[in-house]
A and B are shown apart, each in its own frame.
Chain A
Amino acid sequence: MAHLYLVPQWFFGFDIAMELVFAIIAMALAFFTYRIYKVSEDEDVKLFGLAFVLISISYIVWASINLFMLDKLSDGIREISLNNLMSINYILTLVHMGLFIVGIITLAYAHLEIKSAKAYYILTGLALIGLVSSSIPWITYQLLAIFLLSTIVYHYAVDHSCYKNKKARAIFIAFLLLLLSRIDFLFTANSAFAYIFGHILELTAYSLILVGLVANIKGCKK
C-alpha cells in the first residue's frame, strides 16, 4: 500500500504542534458548547459539541501518529505508510480518519432541519464501511471530508447571506478554509508542500473559529 503523506524534516514537530492546537481549540469549543447546552437543553447544540469532541480526539490521534509512527526517508523527508493491515500504524490512522469523519457527519447532521437517528446511523455506517474497505483510505477519507464539508459550507453560506453577522462570516470562512485544506490534502502523497500548505490553511481556519469562540465568551461576560 502506498504512503499517505510526506513530511519535510524541518516541518516535523511544527505539524504535531499545529495538530495539538487544532485539538485544543476544538475541545475548547466543545466545552463552551456544553455550557450552552446545560442552559438550553437544545439537541442541535448537544450534537454540535459532540462533533467537536470527536474532531478534537481525531487530531490528538493524528498528532500521536505523526510523533511515533513516521518512517524516515532520504532528502530530509519523513513519510507514513500503511503496509500491514494489522499494524498499529494502520489501525491508528483508521481511528483518526473515522473519528474525524463521524465528527463532521455529526456536525452536518446538527445543521439539518429534519432529524432522524436512523438516517444518522446509516450515514455514519456507510462512511465508515467505505473508509475501512478502501484500498486507498487516505484519498477516500479526504473525499468524504470534502463532500461533508461542502454541505456544511453551503449551510453557512446560506445562513450568512440571511443574517450578515460578522461572527457568522468568520465561521463561514473558517469552514471554507477547512474544505480547501481537505482538497489540498488529496495531494500529500506526492507533495510535501501540500502537507505544509494544508496545515497552514487549517491553522487559519481554527484561528477564526477561536476568534468566534472568544467573541462569544466576551459577549457572555458583558
Chain B
Amino acid sequence: MAASGSGFHADPMHQFVVQQIFPIHIGGLDASFTNAGLYMVVVIALATLFLGVAASGRSLVPGRWQSIGELSYEFVANMVRDTAGTEGMRFFPFVFTLFMFILFANVIGMVPYTFTVTSHIIITFALAAVVFIGVTVLGFIVHGAKFLNFFVPHGVPKVLLPFLVVIELISYFTRPMSLSVRLFANMMAGHTMLAVFGGFVVMLGLLAGWLPLLFSVALIGLELLVAFLQAYVFAILTCIYLNDALNMH
C-alpha cells in the first residue's frame, strides 16, 4: 500500500498479479518461475521446517513446538477418524498434507507484502481436482462398477429415476467447483477488503484515517480466523468425500 510516485494510487487487485521471476520455456510451454511458484516453495519449506522442528525433540513432555505439532496432528487425525472412520486413516497423510499446505498458504498470505497462493482459483482448483479425481478413482477401486450405484437414489419411482440420476451426477460434478471456489473466494475477498480499507487509511490521513484503521485491525483478526477455517473446511470436505467413496453412505 505505497503512496509513492505521482500521488496516491490504490489498486486493491494489484496484490494478486502474478509476476515472472525468471522465465523458463519448455517447448512452447511457459513454465516460468513466478511469485506464485516462489510462495508455494516458501509454504512447503516453512511447513516442512515447522513439522521437522516439532518432531525433532520427541520428548515425553512436549515443549512448545512439539505441542503445536502434536496438536495439529491430533486435530487432523480426529477429523479423519470421525468423518471417514478408521478405514479412512489410510489417507491421513494426504489429508494432513493438504491441510498444512492450505493453512500455511493462508497464514503466510496474511503477512504484508506477501503473495497469497490460495487467492488464485487455478491453484485451489488444482487442489480440488486432485481430491475429486482421487476420490472417484478410489471409489471405483474399492467398489468396482458398483460405485455407479452411488448415483442411483433408493426407493424412487421408475419414471423419475433417469431424471434423478442426472441431478445426482450434476451434484457430484459440483464438488471440485464448490471446493475450489469457496477457498479462493474467501481468500480473495478478504485480501481485497484489507487492501481497500488500508487504502482508506492512507487517503483520509491523520484526520479521519483512524476509523478505517480500527476496522482494518478487526478485519485482520477475522481474516486469520477465515484462514484457519477455510483450511479446516477444505480438509473436512475431503474427509467427507473419502467417506462417500469408501462406504457409499
Q: Do the two chains belong together in a single complex?
A: no
Which residues of B are in contact with A by a Cβ distance under 8 Å? none
A interface, CB within 8 angstroms of B:
none
